[in-house]
Amino acid sequence: MNPRGLYDLDRNIRPVGEAYKKLLSQWREVLPTQSVCLFVPIVLPSEYDEPMAIRRREGWRRYYRREMKAQPGARS
């Protein structure tokens, strides 16, 4: 048993487990379940007006708006 694990022997979550849960919830849009790496939102200048690029920008805008609302005191 790892004394620094996410849960103790009684299956109570430890502070590091809470922090890990928070980290996962903050990155859920960037790290989809099937992904093995970070999603990098790169669009070439020649593709800027393509429908896929527009959808991607709108998705990130929605994501950032949600994040700003969730963080008290954050600038929008």
Q: Which domain holds residue 19?
A: 1-35
**Global confidence as pTM:** 0.40
Residues 55 and 29 in one domain: no
The closest of 42, 17, 39, 41 to 28, measured between CA atoms, is: 39
Residue 22 has pLDDT above 60, yes or no: yes
Task: Say whether both 21 and 45 belong to one domain.
Answer: no
Each residue of 62-71: pLDDT tens digit? 888 887 787 7
Same domain (yes/no): 7, 31 = yes
Q: How do residues 31-43 score in pLDDT, each as one tens digit?
A: 665 555 556 667 8
- The runs of H, that is alpha helices, within the chain are 15-27, 51-70
Same domain, 25 and 46: no
Q: Same structural domain for residues 26 and 8?
A: yes
Total structural domains in the chain? 2
